[in-house]
Structure 1
């Protein structure tokens, strides 16, 4: 295993501990300017997110109505009642984003897909970097004020639905995640830089409880007056 990745996994709670768990649940509050750009209403109501750790699968409750939830897998996105009654579904959901740009409107299934793949990625980081087919290498370190952040570049396999196939993860001297860079392929491929803060510990796993995603400028720095997505996590529990 890559030396930096091994240290990062240990700092976040350890691979052995991670493998004991199957799911994580978290309360999340989201915001930012991306959703209004997509013609979607945005509110600060808390929602409960469930992520399966060793397969790409996730769900958020409520979604669209108090008695509805989403069910996400790479080949299908669905909105359903809490009793399992189907409200809407779409197979091969990534194909529905063909030709989209940052201002292209989304329907509820687009948003459900984005939520499913993005938050699955966030709540499994950094342990998803050892999943089948993921390749990592250390790249040039990043200087952030007085700090030096080490950077892992990940190349993801085709079976995994995530923002893009090549992403960069930045780690501080304590080996905790500080930043996550990617391109938002389902919205025209614009570059984004997501800053992470306020690390917490839940059942022995450490993770950031606050994420702020910005457009990324040509100098690789986040354009901090363009907040695209904010996510705050609380009440995190691994089972």
Structure 2
């Protein structure tokens, strides 16, 4: 089954604002605050200062600032990651950045370019969900629903082509009765394949488009349950601005 014949996907796109509205815009700016244990596992520190995230909606491109210093930012595409000054001078760069994660385990240290690449692809995908499911080569199928407490969530399994940089090739997305995203399961391939269950809530709306304002990714156990004591990444998103 693909996106052309998946009724659930159609309802999900409508609930998040609709594909027609999405296609009116090219870029989104947002304020993000990040935390969680992953950064320490990678030998990094993460403060709670808000940062400006910019994501291009119809191409895999993103930037966050400040990054490492007030006058530094990142410039992400799947084939190249750079750290540059706000005036555009390149400070550090890496081509084919995904290759630099080969043989990484859960606690393999990351350098600033590793971190910049992870931020770029992850936030690009989060701020384009669920509309990225309609990209060329992406295949979508509805699979068995998931029982979460007293709720039953419908579930889409999404198969990403190699051309889309993301956590892993196959990921599951869970939707409530209102067709809004509730949970996102994946493996963090750039960090030893850590199994994660990311819960999303506190939706915010801008220009008629709806995105979760809070994301909490926990390690997932062998029964696909979130381990509440192991928060890997937290992301608070606010001040969405589409252009």
TM-score of the aligned structures, taking structure 2 as reference length = 0.98
Shift of 1:41: 1.2
- 1:156 lines up with 2:160 in the alignment: yes
Task: Write the distance in 2 (CA, Å) between the matches of 1:232 and 1:11.
Answer: 21
Partner SS state of residue 124, structure 1: coil
- 1:189 lines up with 2:193 in the alignment: yes
Given candidates 23, 29, 39, the residue that maps to 1:19 is 23
Given candidates 119, 122, 140, the residue that maps to 2:123 is 119
Given candidates 67, 71, 89, the residue that maps to 1:67 is 71
Shift of 1:208: 0.4
Which sections of structure 2, spanning at least 5 residues, go unmatched?
none
The 5 A counterparts of 1:136-215 are 136-215=140-219
Shift of 1:146: 1.6
Which sections of structure 1, spanning at least 5 residues, go unmatched?
none
Greater shift in the superposed pair: 8-17 or 140-149 = 140-149
Shift of 1:189: 0.8
Task: Write the distance in 2 (CA, Å) between the matches of 1:174 and 1:184.
Answer: 28
- 1:4 lines up with 2:8 in the alignment: yes
Given candidates 83, 89, 93, the residue that maps to 1:85 is 89
Count matched residues. Answer: 239
Partner SS state of residue 164, structure 1: coil
Task: Write the distance in 1 (CA, Å) between the matches of 2:75 and 2:179.
Answer: 33
Please give the per-residue CA displacement for 1:31-73, whole angstroms capped at 9, x wherever unaligned.
Answer: 0000011111110000000000001000001001000000000
Task: Write the distance in 2 (CA, Å) between the matches of 1:186 and 1:106.
Answer: 10
Given candidates 53, 72, 76, the residue that maps to 2:57 is 53
Task: Write the distance in 1 (CA, Å) between the matches of 2:134 and 2:145.
Answer: 21
Q: Which consecutive aligned stretches of 4+ in structure 1 deviate over 3 angstroms post-superposition?
A: none
- 1:94 lines up with 2:90 in the alignment: no
Please give the per-residue CA displacement for 1:192-222, whole angstroms capped at 9, x wherever unaligned.
Answer: 1000010111111001000000110011111
Shift of 1:91: 0.2
